[in-house]
Amino acid sequence: MTDRTYHRLVELLEAEISDEMVALEPDLGQCFGFNSVAKDVWRALEKPTSFAELRAQLLAEYDVPEEQCGRELQALLDEMVKVKLIAPTEQAG
């Protein structure tokens, strides 16, 4: 599997509520709700971060099997890409 790196596409206005986060993307005028994992991933993507790094951070934080963690992380990243919050960084070469 390619170890893609992801980066943020937008700045959000954010508010944390307990473990979760609510955010507004002002240019779209759209609100997003982040659960604990999504919030951690969004925070990690403050700087471009690879899939492997993100998975390692989640495995250190949450009690979850590696395979499940990778699968659910990929689904989350795909959803974030779909709504244009983040994008995979193009690799040179």
Partner 1 sequence: MSRRDTTPTSWPLPAFATVSNFLDESQVNGLLDWVFANQNAFRPAEIVDDHASAGGLVSPSFRIASTLRDIGPERATIERRLWAALPTLERETGCKSGSDTLELELAAHGDGAHYRPHLDISYGPGRRPIGASNGQDRVLSAVYYFYREPKGFSGGALRLYRFGARPAEANGDPSNWVDVEPHRNSLVAFPSFALHEVLNVDCPSGSFENFRFALNCWFCRTL
Where along the sequence are the contacts to partner 1 (CB under 8 A)?
11, 13-17, 20-22, 24, 26-35, 38, 76, 79-80, 83
Please name the residue ranges forming H helices in the chain: 36-44, 51-61, 66-82
Burial of 72 (0-12, 13-18, 19+ CB in 10 A): middle
- The nearer residue to partner 1, 2 or 45, going by C-beta atoms, is 45
- The nearer residue to partner 1, 79 or 92, going by C-beta atoms, is 79
Taking the complex as a whole, the smallest distance from the CB of residue 32 to partner 1 amounts, in Å, to 5
